[in-house]
Structure 1
């Protein structure tokens, strides 16, 4: 089966707009039963037709260049009602952050801080919700080879040096668990429910060098996976959807080329500055050496 590559924003968004697929993706990662899920309205801007002579496209590209030099992350928010192991129902806020390209950590932290400053209008009530964050990365973390990891909190009594099993509502809403998916590290392993969910993100078996559509070679053995691949198949084969996907790729190529030129010029300027600074340091050393020689000559003359 031919499917579109969900690492692209337009494909990932379309996939996650389906409630059942969103529950499959989130519930499988969290290993929780998702009873219901509510999607927060997202701001999503995309140029369907890329004409570089069009002022609107130029404005779009300029904006994206500015974002790219800072940070470019796609964010989707959900409010999920989960059924806990004790049979209780709990609402949590799910934040999915997807980045196709390498990002600067400090800039990303600043971005998250700005996001949290914004007033959250998901619920009618002003009561905060516990947060779980999912990071979908299109680049590799050099220190971590696993395609999927969970970073979870643990309450520890520092006096008695033991783990506390009880949970505090106050603490739960101030801190949160995180999940990280590295799509480039996903293999063809197809055993568990998690393996099967991640398999659609596997970055192999592309039909051409564009890497926007690929062959899904695994046996589809569940309704959730069937629905997910069906949506991705439509996104990869429908002429209109395929054109939208190709436009996104072309937009990114344009942005990559322009930002690459900017970075190249920046690197050249930094190199010139570095060379000038080194020349000044060398000159200072020469001057200091001359001062010492003059001082020695003056001492000899006085003697």
Structure 2
């Protein structure tokens, strides 16, 4: 067992991939093609960081074997990230490749030429949705209106200029099982081999790579990186950076949780207030109904008073007439009582 530098760190990954032999080995395994030569493109690597993301990218020009004496130049944009990020970041870098005039092969087609074919490789430090395979190949094909694949004339340089294939590697799904050439290459990224006391190191079984000179070369290069003080310092810096991001994200998650709890309480209170308002509205309706009945009763009482007043006035008038006719008060009272 040997201890090597962990290439999950950007500084180690850059040190590994800037070596042409390593790049050819890794890209040949990923592309499942014979990569004859590799060159770093202008602005070949960059470590893009801010308070939300770290993304490492390398742009290659790779010449692959297409026949016994034939090769083809393709562009490879390799992007690596530790943390989950917006796909917009990947699209922005991809857009820069499409708009770069240096990526046009003017020897093909008319005087304006066509773009070199391109493959994008994404090495992810996190899982992508529910996809459960460690390496995902996304290839484009052409179809006619009826859904039949168009093969005649394909691949066409015009079409290849406008579309590209992608390879997505999910590091968390690399679990040490080696079934093929690619598994062996990617095994140096397998985080289940990380040393429990020092995340900067992976513990590898050197005998697994004994029969492969290219893999031995990669392992020895990672061993050299592990003993490099500057490399260890760079890994410490990355740890501090991501620790700060993790602390910030934890604080944000805690804050969001509290806000969510408060929103739940506010929603519950609003529900109770709404319920109380409903009861108050119902009571107001009953009061309004009672007021209507009282008003109706008041109207009837008023009507009855008016009738009594009329009757009283009529009796008074009758008494006055009878008195004018000479009847005494006793006679008038007797007549009234008889009625």
Class of the TM-score when normalised by the shorter of the 2 chains = 0.7 to 0.9
- Greater Cα shift, 168-177 or 109-118: 109-118
Matched, 1:120 2:100: yes
**Matched residues in 2 for 1:247 and 1:292: separation?**
67
Q: CA deviation at 1:80?
A: 1.4
2:164 aligns to what?
A: 176
Q: Conserved in 1, the CA contact under 8 Å of 2:104 and 2:115? A: no
TM-aligned CA distance change 1:168 to 1:86, over 3 Å: farther
Q: Give the number of the structure whose alpha-carbon radius of gyration is greater.
A: 2
1:20-59 residue pairs with structure 2 within 5 A?
20-40=21-41, 41-42=43-44, 44=46
Q: State the SS of the aligned residue for 2:184.
A: helix
| C-alpha distance 7-284 of structure 1, shift in aligned 2 (>3 A) | same
Measured at CA, do residues 206 and 111 of structure 1 come closer, stay the same or move farther in structure 2, by a change above 3 Å?
A: closer
Aligned positions of 1:134-153 closer than 5 A: 134-153=121-140
Higher helix share: 2
TM-aligned CA deviation for residue 240 of structure 1: 2.8
SS of alignment partner, residue 133 of structure 1? strand
**Aligned in 2, Cα 1:202/1:112: closer, same or farther, shift over 3 Å?**
closer
Query: Alignment partner of 2:7: what SS?
Result: coil
Distance change (3 Å), C-alpha of 1:172 and 1:179: same
- CA apart distance, 1:176: 1.5
1:93 has 2:79 as partner? no
- What is the rounded CA distance, in whole Å, between the counterparts of 1:289 and 1:82 in structure 2? 78
Q: Distance in 1 between matches of 2:166 and 2:198?
A: 31
TM-score between the two structures when normalised by the length of structure 1: 0.80
Q: Do the aligned partners of residues 245 and 295 (structure 1) sit closer, same or farther apart at CA in structure 2, a change above 3 Å counting?
A: same
SS at match of 1:82: strand
- C-alpha contact 1:94 1:131 (8 A) present in aligned 2: yes
- CA shift, 1:233, in A, is 0.8
Q: Give SS of 1:73's match.
A: strand
Distance apart, 1:263 and its partner CA: 3.8
TM-score (norm 2): 0.72
Q: CA RMSD in A?
A: 2.7
Q: Which residue of 1 aligns with 2:155?
A: 167
In the alignment, what sits opposite 1:76?
58
SS of match in other structure, 2:88: helix
Do the aligned residues in 1 keep the contact of 2:75 with 2:116 (CA within 8 Å)? yes
* Structure 1 residue 270 displacement after superposition: 4.7
